[in-house]
Copies of this chain bind each other. A is one copy, B any other.
Amino acid sequence: MDDPLKISVRLRCGGEFAMGPGKASVLEGIERHGSISAAGRALGISYRRTWLLVDTLNRCWAEPLVQTARGGGGGGGTRLTPTGHEVLALYRALEARAAAAAAGGDYARLVALLRAEPLSPTDSAPD
């Protein structure tokens, strides 16, 4: 079967999330495409939603992670700041450490107890 393990790592900043799987993907999209709208399109999320994720990122870290050059032709010029690159790399490394540790220990025993597919739902669910 496919690896059944799914780990989601988030970092809180007060009542918001400063980083998580979606925000990391947005940062990677901006790194690759050089614009917020292109990053959103590549991820299948609206411009407004993408912009709000970037705004949260920029408000939760000691320095902005994304820098947008306004004006000028072509609309490009959005990119990660040095802090943006650093936070993204540190987050991806943290995720990888967590996943590697999770897959150690008695993980094989847990997977051995898991079905590849669930049995059918019991049809006597109470109302």
Query: B-contacting residues of A (Cβ < 8 Å)?
Result: 2, 4-14, 16-18, 47-48, 51-52, 55-56, 58-63, 83, 86-87, 90-91, 93-95, 97-102, 104-107, 109-110, 112-122, 125-127
**Copies of this chain in its oligomeric complex:** 2
In the bound complex, residues from chain B placing their C-beta under 8 Å from that of A63 are 113
Cβ contact of A56, chosen from B6, B17, B18, B118, cutoff 8 A: B118
With A4-B18, A59-B115 given, name 16 new contacts (CB 8 A). Answer: A4-B12, A7-B7, A7-B8, A7-B10, A13-B115, A48-B127, A51-B125, A52-B125, A61-B114, A87-B110, A90-B110, A90-B113, A94-B107, A97-B104, A97-B105, A98-B102
